[in-house]
Structure 1
Amino acid sequence: MSSKRSHVRRAAAVVAAGAAALVLAACGGNDADSSTNGHSGHGAATSSPSAPASAAPGQQNAADVAFAQGMIPHHRQAVEMADLAPTRAESPAVKKLAADIKKAQDPEIRTLSGWLTSWGEQMPAAGAVDHSSHGMGGMMTTAEMEGLKAASGKAFDTAFMELMIKHHEGAVTMAKTEQAQGAFPEAKTMAGAIITSQSAEIAQMNKLLGKS
């Protein structure tokens, strides 16, 4: 009798366990669904409010536009200066520096121009560099540019580096403004690269001039 009761109890336990397993499985499925829906809902809830506060990739603001429109003519003038070095510079270090400047800034001009085009913004006029912006961003005056063109040998080397230091300092200031106020990630990345490379070149030119 006791053996029969034991079998009955065991059978009841198996049935109960099976029922419990089915219930748990059903709950587990519901939890999984609700968990998925919960994450989805959470994603929507967190991404929606943050979207207006942060710039999405490809979204620019007025500072980004000003950076591109200002840096294009600034770079063009640096390239114009660098183009004088092969035939006028005496120092191999100055010739190499000029080549490095042109190599870095020509592609940046193309990139900046591409951004302005994609944004539907006005492009700085191509062709002759505007030398009238002296005092803004370290740009040279027409007289300074003509003086550089007339120089050669050591006189050119000295004038080139002194003017380029001022020019680079202007670019670094413009780039720092972009980093502080811009929204377009790629423009901010370029600004960081300009700060790093041109600060290093300023230090190099000061050393060549015996100022450091």
Structure 2
Amino acid sequence: MIRDKARSFREQAVHYFEGLSYRERTMLHKTRALILILFVTFGLALAGCSDAGGGGDAADRPSPEATSQAPSAGTEDDVTVLVPGAPGDDASTAAPGEVEVAEPPAPNDADLEFLAMMVPHHAQAVEMAELADRYATSRPVRALADRIRAAQGPEIVLMSSLLEEAGAQAHGDHEGHDMDEMEGMEGMEGMEGMDGMDGMDMSGMPGMLTTPQLDALAKARGRAFDRMFLQRMIQHHEGALTMAGAVAVDGVDVRVAELAADITLGQTAEIDRMRELLG
């Protein structure tokens, strides 16, 4: 009876793993040790239930001496660990001692390009939010700008640290702005990954404002500023969504994929809010 339940449980688990996406399987590679613990616990729990479920009088129960001599159930030799396969492959089984935790793949060129381009892209959004803090007249616009600055400042630091970890640097600067000035912005501390950006034209990056567009925003005042800020930030966010969508397809690093997903969710919601404010 116990072995039938265990077999049924394993079959359900195999079916579950076969339906996982590549990203889900990659995450499960990191938790194989936890899967092993769960299966061991499951076997011991079934053994305990079997022992506890025995009814009858005390006279019918085995003596402590007989129990101590009986072989124990649910040993490690009886445990089978499910190992998720590669995308499109079936899950396999292995003995507990044969399970190895796979190292996550290193960031590829798509991951590094996304990080290197998104750092100055975020930096321009923070600069636009700083302008809104000084010149916006609408309270909702100012609140939105504060949210953008609070979200993208820490993301810049995170992306810079990922680039450093990969032994790379973020290259390029958005057109016409000095890196020393950008590093002084709120949330831009610890920008070691920004070294070497000077001199590169980033105006062709999706959503990036050109120098005339950014200058026009800096000179606008009152309601004209509020409206221009919303229009340009929508443009900027849509560019970020394009870049996040590309790395979701071509990248392999789990942390970059999670960051791109967070950017997509957050900036999609902000685009909806800005369109609502524009009316």
**TM-score normalised per structure 2:** 0.57
What secondary structure does 1:57 align onto?
A: coil
In the alignment, the residues of structure 1 paired with residue 131 and residue 153 of structure 2 have an alpha-carbon distance, to the nearest angstrom, of 15
Match of 1:8 in 2: none
Structure 2 gap segments, 5+ residues each? 1-69, 81-93, 173-178, 183-197
Q: Is the 8 A contact 1:132 1:142 kept in 2?
A: no
Q: Which amino acid aligns with 2:99?
A: G
In the alignment, the residues of structure 2 paired with residue 163 and residue 205 of structure 1 have an alpha-carbon distance, to the nearest angstrom, of 10
Q: Which amino acid aligns with 1:73?
A: P
What is the CA deviation profile of residues 112-134 of structure 1, one whole-angstrom value per residue up to 9, with x for unaligned ones? 00011111102336436789433
Q: Tell me the CA shift for residue 42 of structure 1.
A: 4.9
The equivalences for 1:1-212 within 5 A come to 39-40=95-96, 42-43=98-99, 56-57=103-104, 59-124=106-171, 126-127=179-180, 132-210=201-279
Q: Which amino acid aligns with 1:198?
A: Q
Worse-superposed segment, 100-109 or 83-92: 83-92
Q: Tell me the CA shift for residue 177 of structure 1.
A: 1.1
Q: Which amino acid aligns with 2:261?
A: G
Q: Which amino acid aligns with 1:84?
A: L
Q: Which has the higher contact order (CA 8 A, sep 6+)?
A: 1
Q: Tell me the CA shift for residue 36 of structure 1.
A: 7.1
Q: Which amino acid aligns with 2:110?
A: A
Q: Which amino acid aligns with 1:39?
A: A
What secondary structure does 2:239 align onto?
A: helix
Q: Going by fraction, where is helix more abundant, 1 or 2? A: 1
Q: Tell me the CA shift for residue 178 of structure 1.
A: 1.4
Structure 1 gap segments, 5+ residues each? 1-24
In the alignment, the residues of structure 2 paired with residue 104 and residue 73 of structure 1 have an alpha-carbon distance, to the nearest angstrom, of 15
Q: Is the 8 A contact 1:132 1:141 kept in 2?
A: no
In the alignment, the residues of structure 1 paired with residue 78 and residue 274 of structure 2 have an alpha-carbon distance, to the nearest angstrom, of 61
**TM-score normalised per structure 1:** 0.73
Q: Tell me the CA shift for residue 79 of structure 1.
A: 0.3
Between structure 1 and structure 2, the one with the greater Rg is: 1
What is the CA deviation profile of residues 169-206 of structure 1, one whole-angstrom value per residue up to 9, with x for unaligned ones? 00011111111111111111110011011011111111
Q: Is the 8 A contact 2:122 2:152 kept in 1?
A: yes
Q: Is the 8 A contact 2:117 2:170 kept in 1?
A: no
Q: Is the 8 A contact 1:72 1:124 kept in 2?
A: no
